[in-house]
A and B are shown apart, each in its own frame.
Chain A
Amino acid sequence: MSNSHLSPLRVPLVSEERSLGQLTEEICAPMERRPTRAWWVAFAIAFALLAIGVGMVAYEVSTGIGVWGLNKTVGWAFDITNFVFWVGIGHAGTLISAILFLFRQKWRTSINRAAEAMTLFAVMCAAVFPVIHMGRPWLFFWVFPYPNERGSLWVNFRSPLLWDVFAISTYFTISLVFWYVGLIPDLATVRDRAKGLRQKLFRVLSLGWTGSHRTWSRYETVYLLLAGLATPLVLSVHTIVSMDFATSIIPGWHTTIFPPYFVAGAVFSGFAMVLTLMIITRKVLGYEHLITVRHLENMTKVIIVTGGIVSLAYGTEVFIAWYSGNEYERFTFLNRAFGPYAWAYWTMVTCNVVSPHLFWFKKVRTSPAAIFVLSLVINVGMWFERFVIIVTSLHRDFLPSSWSMYTPTVIEVGTFIGTFGLFFTLFLLFTRVLPIISIGEVKSVLGFARGHSPAHEPSTHGEPRRHDTPEPIAAEVPSPVLVGLATRKDVAV
């Protein structure tokens, strides 16, 4: 709102004239009204998919992981592919909320809340796979180092799989805390509007937030610190995931390029998923003026960059396979491109290397429909990338006698579909119970505008449009509230 943000060059972040009060109303509206028919339809579909997944997992756990299509040669396939896919999806959320925050990218304010929620849900989906792959998921706590009854046996800290345990659980915890800290002021806003049970609930959740600047000041410090902590965390998580492969000696896996390549791929697929979700959300909830085409456009630019890094990584891998003179490495890459899984390889190349270049065209970059289609294409491509890395490297190893093919079973496909159900069910519930756009943060960027815009003349600042004239506060607020302030313990005169 500050006039210092006015500049003839600055493009507004919120494309329509809005007052602070109107923003509160708009962002809280989806939580406060009854769900629409479209929401119910979407929820029913997502929940049905989730039910399929639950059924598959129940069958798998009660029967054993023999129901998967894994064999002696391909011991990792659908589960680890889906695990890496979902962890990757999560990365864009933290990137938007932490890295763009550190880079002072104010356009993140409209999308960071939903993107962070997406991170949490994606990590939950990812966690499903290693846990059920254990075979005895009820003993999952064996992966943690705790004094146990098995003598002095400890977990092996030299194993990348154990690093994964720490990386993913830390990532989930910090993302959750970061998200919640960001939510506290908005929870207070909702609390102050709500009545009855909802008010009680939000009173507990908002932890007694009063909007005091002394608290805001500390809050900003903490938010900055968390962003600073989460930034290397994002990079470390996918680096560690890539080390699950890179520390092995399988041709096609044993490469030093994996950490940056995986991180770039994660951001690439994550941004595609944020776009998929945001394009639907802005349409369904009517937030086109908050999540503007400019937001979508900025994200597509990130996709061009990360897509470029991913393409470069593909090229480097092929080059090194040839240049190293290692015949096994060379064979693996020839087998990827021309072997029995060539269709998967070329799907990956088409989706990830070719399709992002369409975003160089401004027309494509600014058309939500085109972006939506391309974001889906990229998601498919990135799924295939993991499939290609894992299955094509494993199915033909050093010994031709152990070569075999892998086909997913119905159980595997059903479990994967089930995680989509879990993801969308959680996301749809999220749109109903919490403000999906950060109210406080968007308010702070309302004034980012061109100086000549009539929408941001000082005379209209802060005047709620819902009242034609600003009502005096004393008239609408009973005085006991103010007396209450005066008796508060934390106000010491």
Chain B
Amino acid sequence: MSSSVLIGYFDNEDKILDATRAAHQAGYPVHDVYTPYAVHGMDEAMGLRPSRLTYVCFAAGLLGGSLALALQLYTSVVSWPLNVGGKPFNSLPAFIPVTFELTVLFAGLITVAAFLARSRLFPGSRRLTLPRVTDDRFALVLGARQGEQAHHAVEDMLRRHGAVELSWKEMPS
């Protein structure tokens, strides 16, 4: 059994925002929207939940900070205690700069790695792109309900919202 997706092309940010909002509200499954730049308000129009990468970032920062402190305490207190100007071996204020830097480093690198992994972006990825969506076209990809009438209804809706081009594609479910 196969189902169809309808790809509607738009030439304007506002039109595709309206169309996406309408399709989402009408209950058509919105696969994805392809745009040349980040369209603000689209998350809400598509009904996307906020990304959870912020939690990843926080955890990674915590990890980096802990590792940095552990490394400094181990090397300066346990492994090679060195008397510098009579200061205590576990002189915490002196360890803050390196701890901060490693917190940022871990948080940044791990968040980006998580983003790339979650979005399946990697060198050599050969995913095909829709025409002109990295240039000046906005594409809305909708799953549709069965039946010819439903097809007409969704086509009409996209046209009403200013789609410049529509195409149906069959895909295995």
Q: List chain A positions with a Cβ less than 8 A from chain B.
A: 1-3, 19-21, 24, 145, 152-158, 160, 162-163, 166-167, 170, 173-174, 177-178, 181, 184-185, 188-189, 191-193, 203-205, 207-222, 225-226, 229-230, 232-233, 236, 240, 243, 439-441, 443-444, 447, 458, 461-464, 470, 472-474, 476-477, 481-488, 490-491, 493
Nearest A residue (CB) for B137: A473
Q: With both chains docked as a complex, state the minimum distance between the C-beta of A458 and any C-beta of chain B, in angstroms.
A: 7
Q: Are the CB atoms of B79 and A152 closer together than 8 Å? A: yes
* Contacting pair A440 B121 (CB below 8 A): no
The reply to whether B165 and A211 contact each other, CB–CB distance below 8 Å, is no
Chain A residues near B147 (CB-CB < 8 A): none
In the complex, the answer to whether B127 meets A208 with C-beta atoms within 8 Å is yes
Query: What are 30 A-B interface contacts by the 8 Å CB criterion?
Result: A19-B136, A24-B36, A156-B84, A157-B76, A158-B87, A160-B97, A163-B101, A173-B108, A192-B135, A203-B124, A211-B34, A213-B43, A216-B38, A217-B38, A217-B43, A221-B54, A225-B54, A229-B108, A230-B108, A233-B104, A236-B97, A439-B36, A443-B36, A461-B12, A462-B11, A462-B136, A485-B7, A488-B128, A493-B3, A493-B31
B20 — nearest CB in chain A belongs to which residue?
Answer: A213
Q: Is the CB of B34 within 8 A of A212?
A: yes
List of B residues within 8 angstroms of A174 by Cβ:
104-105, 108
A470 to B173, CA, bound (A): 33
From B11, B36, B173, contact of A211 by CB (8 A): B36
A98 to B: closest C-beta gap in Å? 11
Chain A residue contacts of B39, Cβ below 8 A? 213, 216, 444
Nearest 8 A/B pairs, CB to CB: A208-B125, A20-B136, A462-B11, A484-B128, A486-B171, A154-B75, A207-B121, A221-B51
Q: Which residue of B34, B51, B75, B97 is within 8 Å of A218 (Cβ)?
A: B51
How many residues of chain B have a CB within 8 Å of chain A? Answer: 88
Q: CB of B22 within 8 A of chain A?
A: no
What are the residues of chain B within 8 A of A487 when measuring CB–CB? 171-172
Q: Across the interface, do B136 and A222 meet the contact criterion of CB distance under 8 Å?
A: no
Do B98 and A205 touch across chains, with their CB atoms under 8 A apart? no
The answer to whether A474 and B165 touch (CB under 8 A), given A214-B48, A217-B51, is yes
State whether B105 touches A154 (Cβ < 8 A). no
Is there contact, CB below 8 Å, between B36 and A229?
no
Say yes or no: A485 contacts B32, CB within 8 Å: no
How far is B149's CA from A341's CA once the two chains are assembled, in angstroms? 87
Closest chain A CB from B11 CB (angstroms): 4
Complexed CA–CA distance, A392 and B130 (Å) = 63
B120 CB–A CB distance under 8 Å: yes
Which chain A positions have C-beta within 8 A of B33? 212-213
CA distance A163 to B94 in the complex (A): 9
- Interface 0/1 of B22-57, CB less than 8 Å to A: 000000010111111111111100101011011001
Q: Which residue of chain B has its CB nearest to the CB of A175?
A: B108
Kindly identify which residue among A173, A203, A458 contacts B126, using a CB–CB cutoff of 8 Å.
Answer: A203
Please name all residues of chain B whose beta carbon is closer than 8 Å to the beta carbon of A474 when the two chains form the complex.
165, 167
B80 contact from A2, A153, A203, A473, Cβ within 8 A: A153
Point out which of A1, A152, A189 has the most chain B C-beta atoms below 10 A from its C-beta: A1
Cβ-defined partner of A213 (8 Å) among B42, B100, B107 = B42
A96 CA to B119 CA, complexed, in Å: 27
Q: A216-B35, A218-B119 are in contact. List 13 more A-B contacts (CB 8 A).
A: A152-B80, A157-B95, A178-B108, A192-B135, A208-B121, A210-B127, A214-B32, A440-B36, A462-B12, A472-B164, A486-B5, A491-B5, A493-B5
Bound CA–CA A166/B104 (angstroms): 11
B104 touching A473, Cβ below 8 Å: no
Give the docked Cα–Cα distance between A353 and B36 (Å): 45
A2 to B109, CA, bound (A): 33
The answer on a CB contact under 8 Å between A154 and B97 is no
Q: Which residues of A contact B126 (CB under 8 A)?
A: 203, 208
CB–CB B131/A20 < 8 A: no
- Given A219-B38, A473-B137, are A232 and B104 also a contact pair (CB < 8 Å)? yes
Smallest distance from the beta carbon of B109 to chain A beta carbons, Å? 7
Q: Please determine whether A167 and B97 come into contact, CB atoms closer than 8 angstroms.
A: yes
Flag if A493 contacts B171 (CB, 8 Å): yes
From the candidates B34, B82, B118, name the one contacting A210 in the complex (CB within 8 A).
Answer: B34
| Other-chain residue from A158, A225, A440 in contact with B84 (beta carbon distance below 8 A) | A158
- Among B34, B95, B126, the most chain A Cβ lie within 10 Å of the Cβ of B34
Nearest residue, chain A, Cβ from B94: A158
Give the complex CA separation of A95 and B172 in angstroms. Answer: 49
State whether B135 touches A21 (Cβ < 8 A): yes
Question: In the complex, are the beta carbons of B12 and A458 less than 8 A apart?
Answer: yes
Given contacts A157-B94, A218-B51, A240-B97, contact A226 B32 (CB under 8 A): no
Distance A192 CA – B128 CA, assembled complex (angstroms): 10
Complex: A188 Cα to B82 Cα, angstroms:
53
Q: Is the CB of B5 within 8 A of A210?
A: no
Closest-by-CB residue of A relative to B118 is A218
**B170 near A: Cβ within 8 Å?**
yes
